[in-house]
Amino acid sequence: SKSWTMVKHFAGAPKPEDFKLIEKELPPLQEGEILLESVFLSVDPYMRPYSRRIMKEGDVMIGSQVARIIESKNSAFAVGGYYVGNCGWTTHFISNGKGLHPLLSEWPGSLPRSLALGTVGMPGVTAYFGLLEICNPKEGDVVLVNSAAGAVGSVVGQIAKIKGCKVVGSAGSDDKIQYLKEIGFDEAFNYKTVSSLEEALKKASPEGYDCYFENVGGKFADAALPQMKDFGRIAVCGAISMYNDAVPPSGPYIQPTLLFKQLRMEGFLVTRWSDKYQEGQKQLLKWVLEGKVKYHEHITKGFENMPAGFIGMLSGENTGKAIIQV
């Protein structure tokens, strides 16, 4: 089995030399165990902040995969079955089945299984519950989402359209802006090239915003918060612009804006909805099959290229979900 480890804690943006490929022989299976082979692996932003919170130097990188059973000594798990596991950046692993989740039974053979790591997986479910339960969008509301061309953001925008909202998105390249228009965003701008975030936000929605799905934080939030309408709802999903900072930047001073506009701003982790995760997945799968939610994947081929895929995702190379194909 091959695995990628984190040699030392990341300082600033992760670099290729922070990762090391190791190889080890797996022991023969015991009764009750299964051997799985990763087919698709996920690279996600959370890996950057969580590496610091839960990993030691030398540990295998955390992460999930779609894996196929290639050997089984457990009658509940047949060879050939596909499961989503959370077993780190590794090509092969042994499991007793605990913590493995089968793909939805209604998953059509024609649909890429990698979507179980993206639009119909954790990022999709994050978008689904984060938007619907925290932003609570109503028909006619104006919804703002940043990192909008990414795995979570692209689903947030499309669900908001399904709910009859006006949707404004921001992303970091003109190609991504084009993509956002294609999947139904009403307004989209490249936050890297606009002369002023405030003006771009005002132009996209002069009347302000009812809902703000926050993936980025930092300067973007400073510009967006004052443009919330009264009683606006903000779902704080992520703060990717700050993940590489050793020391948080000073400010913003958001309390007066929250107070006088009576805003609700709430952080969340997708694990809050663990008990109804499948409900979210089923709805997303239905929308995908109906063509109401479109998906795009940024696939990096080759397990050996996994660090490059991760680093590329953090720097914005992906449109849609970043996936590694072994």
**Could you tell me which stretch among 17-25, 83-91, 166-174, 221-229 binds ligand NDP (CB under 6 A)?**
166-174
Identify residues 173-192 at the interface with ligand NDP (CB under 6 A). 173, 176
Identify residues 116-145 at the interface with ligand NDP (CB under 6 A). 123, 126
Nearest-5° angle of CA 127, CA 62, CA 131?
A: 10
Among 35, 100, 143, 171, binds ligand NDP (CB under 6 A): 171
Q: Cβ(300)–Cβ(126) under 8 Å?
A: no
Task: Report, in Å, the least distance between residue 316 CB and ligand NDP.
Answer: 3
Q: Cβ(115)–Cβ(121) under 8 Å?
A: yes
By CB under 6 A, is residue 235 in contact with ligand NDP? Answer: no
Task: Report, in Å, the least distance between residue 311 CB and ligand NDP.
Answer: 11
Classify residue 159 as exposed, middle or buried by CB count within 10 Å of its CB (0-12, 13-18, 19+). buried
Q: CB neighbours (10 Å) of residue 233?
A: 22
Residue located via tokens 């995969």: 65
Both ends of the chain: CA-CA distance in Å? 12
The candidate with the shortest Cα–Cα distance to 149, out of 114, 173, 127, 120, is 173
By CB under 6 A, is residue 240 in contact with ligand NDP? Answer: yes
User: In sequence order, what are the residues at sequence separation of 6 or more whose Cβ sits closer than 8 angstroms to the Cβ of residue 320?
Assistant: 118, 119, 149, 150, 151, 154, 295, 296, 297, 298
Query: Which residue, 149 or 293, is less far from ligand NDP as judged by CB?
Result: 149
Task: Report, in Å, the least distance between residue 3 CB and ligand NDP.
Answer: 22
Among 103, 131, 168, 216, binds ligand NDP (CB under 6 A): 216
By CB under 6 A, is residue 316 in contact with ligand NDP? Answer: yes
Number of residues that bind ligand NDP (CB under 6 A): 29
**Could you tell me which stretch among 42-50, 194-202, 204-212, 247-255 binds ligand NDP (CB under 6 A)?**
42-50
Q: Which amino acid is present at 143?
A: V
Contacting residues toward ligand NDP, per CB under 6 A? 44-46, 123, 126, 147, 149-153, 171-173, 176, 215-216, 237-238, 240-241, 268-270, 313-314, 316, 318, 322
